Amino acid sequence: MSKKPMILILAAAAVLLFLLPAFSQEDIKQLADPAFGQAQRPAAVFDHDAHNEKAAIDGCLPCHHQGVEEGRFVEGDPVKCADCHEVKTAEGTPLMLAYHKQCEDCHLEKKKGPVTCGECHKRP
Ligand code: HEC
Ligand code: HEC
Ligand code: HEC
Ligand code: HEC
User: What DSSP state is assigned to residue 58?
Assistant: -
Write phi, then psi, for 77 (nearest 5 degrees).
Answer: -65, 150
pTM (two decimals): 0.92
Angle at 98 between CA 91 and CA 36, to 5 degrees: 90
Q: What 3-state class would DSSP assign to 30?
A: strand
Which numeric CATH code is attached to 26-120?
3.90.10.10
Whether 48 and 28 have beta carbons less than 8 Å apart is answered as: yes
Is 102 near ligand 2, meaning CB less than 6 Å away? yes
DSSP 70: T
Is the CB–ligand 4 distance for residue 81 below 6 Å? no
Pocket test for ligand 1, best of 31, 45, 60 (most atoms within 8 A of CB): 60
- Looking at all shown ligands, the one closest to residue 109's CA atom is 3
Query: Per residue in 77-121, pLDDT tens?
Result: 999 999 999 999 999 999 999 999 999 999 999 999 999 999 999
Beta carbon of 107 within 6 Å of any ligand 3 atom: yes
Distance (Å, rounded) from C-alpha 64 to C-alpha 75? 7
